[in-house]
Amino acid sequence: MRNKIFNILALGALLLATSCSLHDDNEIFDTPAAQRIEESIASDKALLESATNGWELHLWMGEDNAGGGYTYLMKFNNGKVSVGSEIADPDMRTSSSYDVIADEGPVLTFNTYNQIFHYAANPEQDGSQIQQDYEFVILRTTNDSIFLRGKKYGNKMVMTRMADDVSWTDEIAKIQQVSEDLMMTFTIRNNGDSIGTAELSDDRIMELNVDGNTIDMPYYVSTTGIVLLQPIQYKGASIQNLVYNTAKMSFSSTDNGAAALALEANLPENYMYYNEFAGTYTLSYLNGSRSIKNITLTPAGDGSTYHLTGLVPNATLTLTYNKKNGSLRLSMPQLVGSQGGIYYFILPWALAEGGSVYFSSGFGMDLTKDISKEGSVLSFVDDFTNYNIDSFIIAGFTSETQLGNSTFNGWDSPITFITGSTQLPYVTSLTKTN
């Protein structure tokens, strides 16, 4: 077991119901056990449906919370539950049935399929699945809180009543924005002095390292930062709530006694901020033996996207800014024009790997700063698909929305790159000229 410089503070123990025989219950209580259970179930249903704007649940995934936490918003009414979540579009809602049944005491069960709520529990193509509960033992309740334990994986969590003036769409959008903005690696500082590192994983585990000692702590993303599953303690400070400053890419704690602690993002050496990409470039292709001048990168002004012009006449390509690593991403296919009912797209092409062309979405290349070269040079790298994309090609399709063999119209296209060809082999870099 790894040594831990941070001592985990145990959360308050939840009250667990103990089982008794019916005979024992009748001796102790005035009403039979079955009646008490029915009354408890009715009370829990009434409480669930009393929240006019629903409940917020931070659902901990996996055994021992190893899958991190995700936020679900739920409104219960007449045996139905409407669900929204950060895992879906902010305005998406899905409805299904729910019930409170007698099992290990009262149990909240989502007993019919809900597209949002059951998504994480669906088996993936390889047969694996995220370990998510969809039945919860109700441990205790207050007017504004329902304390739960996942029936299968045993994770404890709390469902809290949402204020009537909170917009679900806004709440989810804020969580998603924070999640998108989060950097992944940080230096931990106490009064400015470095005391260790912290790293956020994709499965929402924060790994803290101080002097060779490590602790892994699950977290969920809030509207302002992250919240750890349990408080951690450092020199008398109890830390659980971390507020993220997007501009400074740093965390601070809102917990008492933790004001001196901060987590500052560690940026890669080739990191570029959003506005640094703007300018005019020369594109090199055919492994640097040919070039195209006057390629322009223009910020869209939203802090997240760029427009590229000059590659295809009268066409604008869209690139997305990856704040985590300071790069631009050119995802394909992208529409570059249409004629006579045929739609023409720029497609990703793995030329060196046999010439495969990919019609489906999710392919493309990243533009990252090449610090080995003088000036501002952006290299094209297939860092996110691993299909060895190295070239671009233009082809026509009979559908604008669904690309595939059934809609493929051939390689001859009246729309070409600025070079006059539908092929752009072995693109290598953009070099800033202005």
Give the tens place of pLDDT for each residue, 387-425: 899 999 999 999 999 999 999 999 999 999 999 999 999
Residue 239 lies in a domain: yes
What's the pLDDT at 22?
30
- Tracing tokens 């297939």 back to the chain, one arrives at 382
**pLDDT tens per residue across span 106-157:** 999 999 999 999 987 765 533 445 689 999 999 999 999 999 999 999 999 9
What's the pLDDT at 30?
63
Q: Is the pLDDT of residue 104 over 90?
A: no
Residue 24 lies in a domain: no
Contact by Cβ (8 Å): 8, 232: yes
Residue 65 lies in a domain: yes
Range of the domain at 199: 182-265
User: Which SS3 state, helix, strand or coil, does residue 124 take?
Assistant: coil
Task: Indicate whether 202 and 160 sit together in one domain.
Answer: no
**Helix-strand-coil percent breakdown of the chain, rounded to 5?**
10, 45, 45
Least confident of 36-40, 159-163, 217-221, 384-388: 384-388
Residue 135 lies in a domain: yes
Task: Indicate whether 91 and 155 sit together in one domain.
Answer: yes
What's the pLDDT at 241?
95
Domain C-terminal end among 117, 141, 167: 167
- Amino acid identity, position 56: E
- Amino acid identity, position 16: L
DSSP β-ladder status, 261-265 and 250-253 = antiparallel
Task: Indicate whether 46 and 144 sit together in one domain.
Answer: yes
Cα distances (angstroms) measured from residue 142 to each of 43, 52, 139, 148, 417 = 11, 16, 11, 12, 65
Contact by Cβ (8 Å): 381, 365: yes
Domain C-terminal end among 167, 198, 221: 167
Identify the CATH number of the domain in which residue 144 sits. Answer: 2.40.128.370
Contact by Cβ (8 Å): 330, 336: no
Phi–psi pair at 42, nearest 5 degrees: -60, -40
Task: Indicate whether 110 and 186 sit together in one domain.
Answer: no
Residue 216 lies in a domain: yes
Task: Indicate whether 190 and 153 sit together in one domain.
Answer: no
How many domains is the chain built from?
Answer: 3
What is the arithmetic mean of pLDDT over 91-119?
Answer: 94
Can you list the alpha helix ranges (DSSP code H) found in 13-107?
A: 22-28, 33-50
Residue 177 lies in a domain: no
Q: Is the dihedral of CA 374, 376, 382, 385 positive or negative?
A: positive
Task: Indicate whether 96 and 186 sit together in one domain.
Answer: no
Residue 245 lies in a domain: yes
Q: Is the pLDDT of residue 26 over 50?
A: no
Of 305, 399, 278, which Cα lies nearest the Cα of 344?
A: 399
Which residues have CB under 8 Å from 27's CB, separation 6+? none
What is the arithmetic mean of pLDDT over 229-239?
Answer: 87
Task: Indicate whether 297 and 381 sit together in one domain.
Answer: yes
Q: Is the pLDDT of residue 21 over 80?
A: no
Task: Indicate whether 252 and 388 sit together in one domain.
Answer: no
Task: Indicate whether 280 and 428 sit together in one domain.
Answer: yes
Task: Indicate whether 344 and 319 sit together in one domain.
Answer: yes
What's the pLDDT at 362?
84
Task: Indicate whether 59 and 150 sit together in one domain.
Answer: yes
Of 174, 161, 192, 193, which Cα lies nearest the Cα of 56?
A: 161
Residue 23 lies in a domain: no
What's the pLDDT at 34?
74
Q: What is the value of pTM for the model shown?
A: 0.73
Report residue 430's pLDDT band, with 50, 70 and 90 as the boundaries. Answer: very high
Domain C-terminal end among 237, 265, 293: 265
Identify the CATH number of the domain in which residue 375 sits. Answer: 2.40.128
Task: Indicate whether 349 and 380 sit together in one domain.
Answer: yes
Q: How many CB atoms lie within 10 A of CB 47?
A: 19
More confident residue, 193 or 2: 193
Question: Which H/E stretch holds residue 226?
Answer: strand 225-234
